[in-house]
């Protein structure tokens, strides 16, 4: 299947965006900032539970939206890491 020039450009823009994200957040300092923000936004908690332990539908919606942002960031970082790592071509030779 052939890709159009527009498709190729879109893929390259997405890869460039992931490389920038990795350059900033892929560092130890970037990872620390990301972890601090995830803690601040309580992304580790279930969407329906806040600090108070009560249920607030708007609070649940906000927490779920916050979690989604961090999931997208983590996913794009993982893609960028895979794209920047050369494939492991180990050859198996018979003795």
- Quick check: is 4 in a domain? no
Q: Say if CB 84 and CB 23 are below 8 A apart.
A: no
In a domain, 3, yes or no: no
Say if 87 falls within a structural domain. no
Residue 90 lies in a domain: no
Residue 42 falls inside a structural domain: yes
Predicted confidence band at 20 (pLDDT cuts at 50, 70, 90)? very high
**Does residue 1 form part of some domain?**
no
How many alpha carbons fall within 13 Å on the CB side of residue 70? 19
Share of the chain above pLDDT 90, in %: 55
The answer to the question of residue 95 being in a domain is no
Q: Is residue 6 part of a domain?
A: no
User: Which alpha helices (DSSP H) does the chain contain, by range?
Assistant: 5-25, 28-40, 57-84
pLDDT tens digits, one per residue of 41-68: 888 887 776 555 667 788 888 888 999 9
pTM (2 d.p.): 0.73
User: What's the number of domains the chain is made of?
Assistant: 1
Domain ranges, residue 20: 11-82
């Amino acid at each position: 299947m052939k890709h159009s020039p527009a498709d190729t450009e879109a893929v390259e823009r997405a890869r460039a965006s992931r490389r920038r994200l990795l350059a900033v957040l892929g560092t130890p300092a970037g990872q620390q900032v990301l972890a601090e923000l995830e803690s601040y936004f309580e992304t580790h908690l279930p969407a329906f539970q806040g600090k108070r332990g009560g249920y607030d539908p708007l609070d649940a919606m906000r927490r779920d939206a916050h979690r989604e942002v961090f999931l997208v960031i983590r996913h794009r970082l993982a893609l960028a890491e895979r794209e920047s790592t050369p494939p492991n071509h180990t050859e198996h030779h018979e003795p």
